[in-house]
Amino acid sequence: GAGVSQSPSNKVTEKGKDVELRCDPISGHTALYWYRQSLGQGLEFLIYFQGNSAPDKSGLPSDRFSAERTGGSVSTLTIQRTQQEDSAVYLCASGRRGTYGYTFGSGTRLTVV
Amino acid sequence: QQQVKQSPQSLIVQKGGISIINCAYENTAFDYFPWYQQFPGKGPALLIAIRPDVSEKKEGRFTISFNKSAKQFSLHIMDSQPGDSATYFCAASKAAGNKLTFGGGTRVLVKP
């Protein structure tokens, strides 16, 4: 596709439920990033995939958060046993190997009630 | 540890005026400094970026000034327009393709 696609665009879930957020990067982009943006706040790094290398998981806030990337393309961010503090916009971005800067999707707004 | 500090948090400027946003970083290993623009409901979009081998970069009405010794960089928006009203984020990274560390953002409102 022409841009980074994220789905769903909005998700409301009950506290304690698991959620899966999907990111479809730009074709040919080997790098994929997940960020979290809380209301009125900056962007918090979560996880980074680069090709077949082991992902950089250093930003994941707890073991309830995990992510995988299948076939070097689509990525899924999973949050288990959601808490109200998980409410935020989850942004995905992709980029080309060896280049600076990347392209963001429009995000998934997660609301935990 | 906040590695990139951004100020001010918000800014109101009249149409035609100059918007100035400042960022300071701590990690001297950073070698790429982009600015992103974000409109409500959208993801951030790359606006302009600079590497530390130059002190200034200009693209249209947007200019980055970079001071390596002070570990500071700033965004100047000349002739600000209402369409420039958005949230602006500075960021920094080490090496190409590496993760970006973002500042806290500046909400800019340009009044007509």
Would you list which residues of chain B are within 8 Å, Cβ to Cβ, of chain A? 6, 32, 34, 36, 41-46, 49, 89, 91, 93, 96-105
In B, which residues are within 8 Å of A44 by CB distance?
102
Report yes or no: B39 and B83 within 8 Å, Cβ to Cβ: no
Amino acid at B85: S
Average the pLDDT over A40-58 and give the result.
Answer: 90
- CB spacing of A104 vs B97 below 8 angstroms: no
Q: Judge whether residue B108 has pLDDT over 90.
A: yes
The pLDDT, as a whole number, for residue A101 is 79
Gap from B31 CA to chain A (nearest CA, Å): 10
Tell me the pLDDT tens digit for each residue of A74-84. Answer: 999 999 999 99
The pLDDT, as a whole number, for residue B77 is 98
Helix, strand, coil share (%) of chain A residues, nearest 5: 5, 50, 50
Gap from B44 CA to chain A (nearest CA, Å): 6
Average the pLDDT over B61-77 and give the result.
Answer: 96
The pLDDT, as a whole number, for residue B2 is 61
Average the pLDDT over A47-68 and give the result.
Answer: 93
Q: Judge whether residue A1 has pLDDT over 70.
A: no
Which is higher by pLDDT, A19 or A70?
A19
Backbone angles phi, psi at A34, to 5 degrees: -115, 135
